[in-house]
Amino acid sequence: MLKVGLTGGIGSGKSEVSRRLAARGAVVIDADRIAREVVEPGTEGLARIVALFGAGVLREDGSLNREGLGSIVFADSEKLASLNGIVHPLVGARVAELQSRAPGDAIVVYDVPLLVENNLASMYDVVIVVDAADELRLDRLVRLRGMAEPDARARLAAQASREERLKAADVVVPNEGSLEELEARVAEVWAGLSARAAV
Local confidence band at 113 (pLDDT 50, 70, 90 cut-offs)? confident
Q: What is the pLDDT of residues 150-180, one digit of tens each?
A: 989 988 998 999 999 999 999 999 999 999 9
The 3-state secondary structure of the chain reads CEEEEEECCCCCCHHHHHHHHHHCCCEEEEHHHHHHHCCCCCCHHHHHHHHHHCHHHECCCCCECHHHHHHHHCCCHHHHHHHHHHHHHHHHHHHHHHHHHCCCCCEEEEECCCCCCCCCHHHCCEEEEEECCHHHHHHHHHHCCCCCHHHHHHHHHHCCCHHHHHHHCCEEEECCCCHHHHHHHHHHHHHHHHHHHHC
Confidence check: pLDDT of 20 > 90: yes
In the chain, % of residues over pLDDT 90: 83
Confidence check: pLDDT of 71 > 90: no
| Domains, the chain | 1-26+106-194 (3.40.50.300), 34-104 (3.40.50.300)
Confidence check: pLDDT of 5 > 90: yes
The pTM score is 0.79
